[in-house]
Structure 1
Amino acid sequence: MTPVFGHGHLRLYLLKLLDESPKHGYELIQALSERFGGTYAPSAGTIYPRLAKLEDEGLVTKAADGRKTVYEITDAGRAELASREGELNSIESDLTDSVRRLADEVRSGVGEAMKSLRADLASAARQAREATDATSQSYSSWFAFDPTEDARGEPRSGADARPAGETSASAEASRDASRNEIRDVDIALAEFRQSVRTALRSRGARASVPAGTAAAFARRLDEVRASLLDDLKK
């Protein structure tokens, strides 16, 4: 992301914010976020070391307010602001440009994320269609097998033959129901796979994926697979 403050400028801008009113660290972070329209908010690790340095230089003081620490500008801090008024005006101008650049970067990032999401959704839909087609093709031939015929297509005899009065309607309905179940499982698997991939990519874009994620994922899949296979054996 584009740097927001030049060297030493954040330190001076903190003095400006404290000159407006005493604030604790979180209020300073919120104030900066508001100035940037939510496109930038410094971390506590950025703010507090600078406040500590300002305190060491005698430019701010701090006092406990319950569990919070409130910072207040000193006369020496106001004197520094006054002596660097021109530099502060330049910082304000630079901040306007920074807000514009950050907004452009956010819009660009959102646009790229939407493109990636659309591509992922299209890929998931294509995989689901392919899975459905493959399932229909592979299982249609299996379910087309007529148990009243032998390998040569001739009627079976004896115990293997279907009773003369039995119709094929119930058998066909059962085959249709099985095909539908298998198709829905394949579609669910494709959608599950794509949703997990999208979630992992999104996390990877924001922060590192936690160590052990793959092992935990594999372990949970093994548990689900074992449970489902047990159900299918019943």
Structure 2
Amino acid sequence: MPPVFSHGDLRLYLLNLLDEAPRHGYDLMQALSDRTGGTYTPSAGTVYPRLSKLEEEGLVTKTVDGRKTVYEITDAGRAEVSARSGDLAGIEAGLADSVRLIADEVRAGVREAMRSLQADLAAASSAPSRPTEPSASDARTSAREQVRRADELLSEFRTEVRADLRSHVARGGDLAASVIDDLKSALDEAAAAVRRATRG
């Protein structure tokens, strides 16, 4: 994914964030990470020099509040944000694209996992019987091992998808109902394939 902030954009976006409300440095870094869907997390060495420059230019002021330094936009800073509203709209569009890409990746990952599971189940259900059947004890041991594998796969899938979805929403991303509808449909299809394979 290309950088969200091209040359000079970060400076303007910091001003935009301060136009919303006064913030301390860590809050600004967290806001940048949230607005970019976690794809960009600036360091203190990136943010604070830009804030110092904005202060030198008279666009922000800072006050010390306990152990925190709070930055606040000035009237001159607001004037610049207003004058460059078109540039900000372009930056916001880029951020929205980033969120959509993350949602698309989650959706594609779920579909691919379900397709793979369905193909494996179909192959298992159509495999010819072995000429020499294993003993009942061997068959039970093998079946238990496959159940254990299924438990692991389902647990990993649940953990990964849940983490992806929660992280996406925590970063302020939109989550369309169609994504969850697609997930339910894929899971229903996988469950039906398991039933067909086990009821042979």
Describe the shift of the 1:24–1:182 C-alpha distance in structure 2 as closer, same or farther (beyond 3 A): same
Higher normalized contact order (CA 8 Å, seq sep 6+, divided by chain length): 2
Choose which of 101, 107, 113 in structure 2 pairs with 1:111. 107
- Map 1:35-54 → 2, pairs under 5 A: 36=35, 39=37, 42-45=40-43, 49-54=46-51
Unaligned runs of 5+ in 1: 144-175, 203-234
SS in 2 for 1:118: helix
SS in 2 for 1:3: coil
How many residues in Structure 1 have an aligned counterpart in Structure 2? 157
C-alpha distance in 2, partners of 1:99/1:180?
54
Cα deviations by residue, 1:155-184 (Å, 9 ceiling, x for unpaired): xxxxxxxxxxxxxxxxxxxxx4x1442232
Question: What amino acid sits opposite 1:15 in the alignment?
Answer: L
Following superposition, the deviation at residue 93 of structure 1 comes to 1.8
- Map 1:124-139 → 2, pairs under 5 A: 124-126=120-122, 129=125, 137=130
CA contact (8 A) 2:4 2:94 kept: yes
Larger-Rg structure: 1
Question: What amino acid sits opposite 2:48 in the alignment?
Answer: L
Following superposition, the deviation at residue 117 of structure 1 comes to 1.3
Aligned to 1:120: 116
C-alpha distance in 1, partners of 2:81/2:142?
72
Question: What amino acid sits opposite 1:18 in the alignment?
Answer: L
Root-mean-square deviation (CA), in Å?
4.1
Cα deviations by residue, 1:57-111 (Å, 9 ceiling, x for unpaired): 52445444344332234x5xx425525643x211232134224422432232123
C-alpha distance in 2, partners of 1:127/1:65?
65
TM-score, reference length from structure 2: 0.55
Question: Does residue 181 of the first structure (1) align with residue 178 of the second (2)?
Answer: no
C-alpha distance in 1, partners of 2:156/2:38?
29
C-alpha distance in 1, partners of 2:67/2:125?
58
Following superposition, the deviation at residue 113 of structure 1 comes to 0.8
Q: Which runs of 4+ in 1 moved over 6 A?
A: 195-199
C-alpha distance in 2, partners of 1:139/1:192?
28
Following superposition, the deviation at residue 27 of structure 1 comes to 2.8
Describe the shift of the 1:103–1:10 C-alpha distance in structure 2 as closer, same or farther (beyond 3 A): same
Following superposition, the deviation at residue 8 of structure 1 comes to 0.7
TM-score, reference length from structure 1: 0.48
Aligned to 1:23: 23
Describe the shift of the 1:197–1:39 C-alpha distance in structure 2 as closer, same or farther (beyond 3 A): closer
Question: Does residue 97 of the first structure (1) align with residue 90 of the second (2)?
Answer: no
C-alpha distance in 1, partners of 2:119/2:99?
30
Question: What amino acid sits opposite 2:25 in the alignment?
Answer: G
Aligned to 2:184: none
Aligned to 1:13: 13
Following superposition, the deviation at residue 195 of structure 1 comes to 6.5
SS in 1 for 2:130: helix
Choose which of 72, 79, 83 in structure 2 pairs with 1:82. 79
SS in 2 for 1:137: coil
CA contact (8 A) 1:55 1:61 kept: no
Unaligned runs of 5+ in 2: 162-200
